[in-house]
Amino acid sequence: MNANLNKLFYIDEYNVYDDEIEIFLLKDIDEKTIFIDREKFLKWLDDEDRLKWVDDYVCNGEHQQKTGEVPPELYFEQTSYSQVENDLYDYIMANYKKYFQTPLDQIFQHAFSHI
């Protein structure tokens, strides 16, 4: 999970559609809208083991653990809004890092129009 102070931008809002995800990125007062492929994002989640979950609890004084996996088609329904935002942020940083090698003002003026 990313600390808010270290983020290069913030996800103001997102909308999930059949084939794509619309993401509103915010840096200072500048906002940029990008679209990413929904299936590629879900595949990345699976590849990065982000669809898996662990539930630790104590029962009768003994540590218990349940594990499972969220089906990709239910990810957006079964995952908290803030967790989806974190995953989207990490996905953007992992796949579009080259856009962050220039000053952020240039990114918001130019680079995201190419994503």
**Three-class SS of 56-114:** EEEECCEEEEEEEECCHHHHHHHCCHHHHHHHHHHHHHHHCHHHHCCCHHHHHHCHHHH
Tokens 């918001």 sit on residue:
108
State pTM to two decimals: 0.77
pLDDT of residue 1: 47
pLDDT for residue 110: 54
| pLDDT value of residue 28 | 78
CB-based contact 63:54 (threshold 8 Å)? no
- Which portions of the chain are predicted below pLDDT 50? 1-3, 111
Mean pLDDT of the chain, nearest integer: 85
